[in-house]
Amino acid sequence: MGEFIPDYLLREQAAVGALVLFGVLRIIGAALAYERGWRIAAIEKWFVVAAVIYCIPQLFDLLAHVYGAHAAAAELEGKAAGCAIALFCAPILGHRLGLE
């Protein structure tokens, strides 16, 4: 009848998606900043803003549908965790690559 995806799978998929998306984009952003002479602090701020914007749809679903919003809560947790890990680890990799 009605099949559903467990919350932990939604959380893991959202986390991996955000981790890959923001990790790769952050490294590309660091490469562009290095090439054009932009300040890396500005790039970091823009990526934090982009991560918040990326999480807004699930936050809106969670606030609009308080009861029965398990999927939105799981996706929000996953996206937030993936973005945080990516934005923490990407500068380390960028530094190792000589971009920062």
Dig out the tokens for 83 from the structure. Answer: 């973005």
How far is residue 11's CA from residue 76's CA, in Å, rounded to a whole number?
8
Residue 58 pLDDT > 70, yes or no?
yes
Q: What is the pTM of this model?
A: 0.82
What confidence score (pLDDT) does residue 91 get? 85
What confidence score (pLDDT) does residue 4 get? 78
Dig out the tokens for 35 from the structure. Answer: 């090439």
- List the one residue out of 8, 5, 6, 20 whose CA is nearest residue 87: 20
What confidence score (pLDDT) does residue 62 get? 84
Residue 27 pLDDT > 70, yes or no?
yes
The average confidence (pLDDT) of the chain is: 86
Helix axes 40-64, 7-36, angle to 10 degrees: 160
Q: What is the CA radius of gyration of the chain?
A: 16
The structural domains of the chain, with segments of one domain joined by +, span 8-96
Instruction: Give tens-digit pLDDT for 70-89.
Output: 778 888 899 999 999 998 98
